[in-house]
Amino acid sequence: MINFQSLNAPLPQDIAGYIACGQWDIAHEMIQARIKLQLPAMLQDRLLAADFFIQSLSRSYSVTEDDLLNEIRSLIENFSNDDLSSLRNLGWLDSILINGCRMYFQDTIASLLKANPEFAARAGKPLHSPRPLLDEAIAYLKNHGELIMRMELTSSLRIKDEHFIPGEKYAIHLPLPSPSAQQREVQIMDINPKPRQIARESAPQRTAYFEEKLLENKPFIARSSYLQKLVYCDPINDTNPKIIYPDAKPPIRADLEPQAPHIMFTPYLTALAKELIGDEIVPVRQAKRIYNFITGSVLYSYVRPYQLIENGAEYAAVNLRGDCGLQALLFITLCRICGIPARWQSGLYAVPGDEGSHDWAWFYTEVWGWLPADCSFGGAGRRSGSPQRREFYFGNLDPYRAVFNHQYMGEFEQNRHWPRNDPYDNQTGEAETLETNLNYGQYRTNHDVKAEWL
């Protein structure tokens, strides 16, 4: 099992050099020889983690430059080599050198279409995000000050037919909604088959755990209901501050501490926090400066699996790109460096018919209590020409959410036989047998949401 907390330890200079210049076969041979020596435990773990990276990254970086150009030109006929160079120089392309060949991240084009306005327009798919349900909810919350919505969520996990083995016993961890500051009255309405265990409501990453010998390939299903109760807040301009979510759990020491490998107080991030804060002494305004930097300077992009990133917050801050989770990690890290308690929250963005995994953050000040910050949605508002959305997601959330997880790297209550596909977060569940773990390509998780205004 890989010790991911070792990722912040340095590699030996010679091995790091071969990895950096793309000579991975040589680096692999060196690691295999080095781990046979008597080494300090952390160094041994770091070498094993580096070898895991070498073996795994090639699956995420599988596109050659020629293949990338051909695929782009199927969308943009006159796309030139100079255009590609321009994207590369501005940081839009994610690539690594593997054994002498420049390889690009498999979701490079999808990221460009989602976040680069010029590229999307040239491809005939201009960026626009009307999302009328979202705008309606934001307007209602701002006008009325409070919004309550009843949500019904059906989640199902099913082994793909080509990977199903009749008579095999499967162990399944299916994510479940969990009570939170804004998510109330959570009820499990129906669950099938009968689970071995349903995690307590306060579990850091709540799941239903099944152990079932399947003769037929049937899904594991949970149907839940909950209320989203939101209170509007303008934490910068409101002159009468109040505690917005009084039932939220008070800050604890962990909300101010680093957490390896992705929430670390590195010299670069410490210097960045100091630069962003400047002479501002009011915590909520400090948090707003951090939020403005991330939503204005960090490009949204799909990224490799987090277990193949050495430090998520620093990755986003140095490369100036990252998905919702990396942006949340960066916000949390910079807040904690500044002495502002900050927490992780994740689950789903859950507009009916448009459900998907999503991560965001919460931060704490004494005058407001806990407030949410969704840097990803704030940045999307800026990209789509909606400054109102960008401002809204500092201190507020829309109601179209399902909260599953309250703690980054939170453990499941039920122990697993094999390491998780995602050791940090859980929105799509985990599946395994006694003999092996099932990767994401071997099963499928669906979430279906119904929403009703109250």
Instruction: Kindly state whether residue 154 falls inside one of the protein's structural domains.
Output: no
Q: What is the mean pLDDT of residues 119-137?
A: 85
- pLDDT tens digits for 330-346? 999 999 999 999 999 99
The one-character DSSP state at 394 is B
Indicate whether 255 and 394 sit together in one domain: yes
Indicate whether 56 and 83 sit together in one domain: no
> 5 pLDDT exceeds 90?
no
- pLDDT tens digits for 359-416? 999 999 999 999 999 999 999 998 888 899 999 999 999 999 999 999 999 999 998 8
Whether 264 and 313 have beta carbons less than 8 Å apart is answered as yes
pLDDT of residue 27: 95
Instruction: Kindly report whether the peptide bond that precedes residue 241 is cis, defined as omega within 30 degrees of 0.
Output: no
Indicate whether 118 and 260 sit together in one domain: no
> 4 pLDDT exceeds 90?
no
pLDDT of residue 362: 98
pLDDT of residue 390: 95
Q: How confident is the model at residue 211 (pLDDT cuts 50, 70, 90)?
A: very high
- pLDDT tens digits for 237-291? 998 999 999 999 999 999 999 999 999 999 999 999 999 999 999 999 999 999 9
Indicate whether 104 and 34 sit together in one domain: no
CA-based end-to-end distance of the chain: 48
Whether 102 and 91 have beta carbons less than 8 Å apart is answered as no
Q: How confident is the model at residue 130 (pLDDT cuts 50, 70, 90)?
A: low
Indicate whether 117 and 9 sit together in one domain: no
The token duo for 434 is: 């006694």
Q: 248, exposed or middle or buried, with CB in 10 Å at 0-12, 13-18, 19+?
A: middle
Indicate whether 20 and 105 sit together in one domain: no
Indicate whether 17 and 115 sit together in one domain: no
Q: What is the mean pLDDT of residues 188-209?
A: 97
Whether 317 and 268 have beta carbons less than 8 Å apart is answered as yes
- pLDDT tens digits for 109-120? 999 998 898 999
Q: Which residue has the higher pLDDT, 313 or 8?
A: 313
pLDDT of residue 131: 76
- pLDDT tens digits for 13-60? 999 999 999 999 999 999 999 999 999 999 999 999 999 999 899 889
Query: Among 146, 155, 145, 154, which Cα is nearest to 228's?
Result: 146
Instruction: Kindly state whether residue 197 falls inside one of the protein's structural domains.
Output: no
Q: Within 13 A of 10's CA, how many CA atoms are on the CB side? A: 5
Q: What is the mean pLDDT of residues 415-427?
A: 92
Domain of 355, in residue numbers:
244-405
Instruction: Kindly state whether residue 33 falls inside one of the protein's structural domains.
Output: yes
Whether 181 and 361 have beta carbons less than 8 Å apart is answered as no
- pLDDT tens digits for 90-110? 999 999 999 989 999 999 999
Instruction: Kindly state whether residue 304 falls inside one of the protein's structural domains.
Output: yes
The CA-based dihedral angle spanning residues 351, 353, 357, 361, taken in that order and rounded to the nearest 10 degrees? -10
Task: Indicate the residue type of 139.
Answer: A
Indicate whether 278 and 335 sit together in one domain: yes
Indicate whether 78 and 8 sit together in one domain: no
Instruction: Kindly state whether residue 352 falls inside one of the protein's structural domains.
Output: yes
The token duo for 131 is: 């999302």
Whether 282 and 340 have beta carbons less than 8 Å apart is answered as no
Residue 161's CB is within 10 A of a number of other CB atoms, namely: 7
Query: Among 374, 329, 350, which Cα is nearest to 427's?
Result: 350
pLDDT of residue 1: 77
Indicate whether 254 and 345 sit together in one domain: yes
Instruction: Kindly state whether residue 186 falls inside one of the protein's structural domains.
Output: no
- pLDDT tens digits for 283-334? 999 999 999 999 999 999 999 999 899 999 999 999 999 999 999 999 999 9
Indicate whether 56 and 67 sit together in one domain: no
Q: How far is CA 67 from CA 73, 88, 99, in A?
A: 10, 16, 17
Task: Indicate the residue type of 77.
Answer: E
pTM: 0.95
Element (H, E) at 303: none
Which residue carries 């680069």 as its tokens? 116
pLDDT of residue 129: 63
Instruction: Kindly state whether residue 166 falls inside one of the protein's structural domains.
Output: no
Domain count, the chain: 3
pLDDT of residue 383: 85
Instruction: Kindly state whether residue 214 falls inside one of the protein's structural domains.
Output: no
With a CB cutoff of 8 Å and minimum separation 6, the contacts of 390 are 295, 378, 379, 381, 382
The CATH number linked to 253 is 3.10.620.30
Indicate whether 385 and 315 sit together in one domain: yes
Q: How confident is the model at residue 127 (pLDDT cuts 50, 70, 90)?
A: confident
